[in-house]
Amino acid sequence: MRYDTIVVGGGPAGATAALTLAKAGARVLLLERRRLPRYKACGGCLSRRVERLLPFDLNGLVEEQITNLTFTWRGRNPVEATFSEPVAYMVWRDRFDQALCDRAVEAGVELLDGQVVRAVRESAGGVEVDLGGRTATADFLVGADGARGVVARDLFPDRSQPMAVGLDAELPLTSAGEAVLKGRVIIDVGRVPGGYCWAFPKRGVASVGVSVDRGAAKRAMPCLTAFLSAGGFSDRKAVRTTGALIPVYHDGTGPLHRGRTLLTGDAACLVDPFLGEGIYYAIQSGQLAARAIVRAGSHSGDLQWYQEAISTEIAPELEAAGRLSRTAHRASWLWFQVLRRRRGVIDLYKKVLMGEASYRLFEDRVWAGTPRPVAMLFGVWADRRSLSDRHQEVGSR
């Protein structure tokens, strides 16, 4: 079996890369170890800007449109924001990912689900993929196999990245709980350093979860339990509670290409450290990977363009999100006070979700309007030098 490109992983990154390549005329094999549609532990919250990336509309996949954001401190002191248009959509990941894979197949991609990739290696002029008894070969390989995937394990052995731990529970809602969560997302901070809880509605069901630094993993379940009982979302048991690693972006991407192989999405650790959003960056990096491969076809296989594209289009955003997360998660009480007192911060965050403002602009505006001593204090948890420089630079404009 010989292909132009083999893509490992049928999540948003892999399906998008495969779809984009097939549309450009490539012969693509997409390998997914689970049978589709497959469950994925995820809140399923898509920021509205994802519409700008998707080559199809989300009709029929959206379980809930979000027009209300509520931030709480340990379940209390709600800070509310209501918008006149949706800022995010809720989807079930099994259906959303299946829809992306269906589009890829319609564009000509050969999809093998239920097919585990055992190992990958470089070969003369290409790559080899071990399917357990069979080998597939290609000119290029895309690693879209999530956190701790086989492609990074075999071809990028030096990559190491800190992980967060996420727990996601699905709860049938009572009618009272459904009324509370209708069109609303709740984000709760202050229960565990570096962590936060969420409640996302999906037509009669809530995805309720927690994300914490890996070092605090033992505190994730007690934190989730406390959030659930304080929120009173349901009097029934969770249908399912699942844990998974979240490969948050931290201090640069490291190498994302080697020879004829690229890493995308979670495999490349492209998850927003501020809010844990990974689907958007998985799709964006999948598209960039496909473009890089198309370019490399006429540039003697050189994939360096991909690293540069990630460095200019994604990394600056995730770096700004990282600085914000270090303050918001570590000095969560101070951050919560900023949200309470400055409604403009939430309005600006809406613009980030809509794709109308960058994280960098958001960060600038937050620091510009924050009293200097508070911004300096935040700097202790973020990146001290760049933050105080930034405060000075923005304040002097």
Ligand X SMILES: Cc1cc2nc3c(=O)[nH]c(=O)nc-3n(C[C@H](O)[C@H](O)[C@H](O)COP(=O)(O)OP(=O)(O)OC[C@H]3O[C@@H](n4cnc5c(N)ncnc54)[C@H](O)[C@@H]3O)c2cc1C
Residues that bind ligand X (CB under 6 A): 8-14, 31-34, 38, 40-45, 116-117, 144-146, 149-150, 166, 168, 209, 244, 246, 265-267, 271, 276-280, 282
Least Å from the CB of residue 396 to ligand X:
36
Residue 144 or 171 having the CB closest to ligand X:
144
Residue 231 or 265 having the CB closest to ligand X:
265
Closest CB to ligand X: residue number:
278
Structure tokens at 299: 């540039």
Helices 359-368 and 315-330, packing angle to 10 deg: 40
Q: Hunting for tokens 């960060």 — which residue is that?
A: 363
Least Å from the CB of residue 70 to ligand X:
16
Helices 372-381 and 332-341, packing angle to 10 deg: 140
194 near 162, Cβ under 8 Å? no
How far is it, in rounded angstroms, from Cα 388 to Cα 12? 37
Least Å from the CB of residue 372 to ligand X:
34
Structure tokens at 167: 């727990």
Q: Which amino acid is at 30?
A: L
Q: Which residues pair with 150 in a beta bridge?
A: none
Structure tokens at 114: 């239920």
Residue 64 or 145 having the CB closest to ligand X:
145
b/e code 20-58 from CB counts within 10 Å (16+ = b): bbbbeebebbbbbbeeebbebbbbbbbbbbbeebbeeeb
Residue 273 or 379 having the CB closest to ligand X:
273
Residue 126 or 146 having the CB closest to ligand X:
146
Residue 271 or 339 having the CB closest to ligand X:
271
74 near 190, Cβ under 8 Å? yes
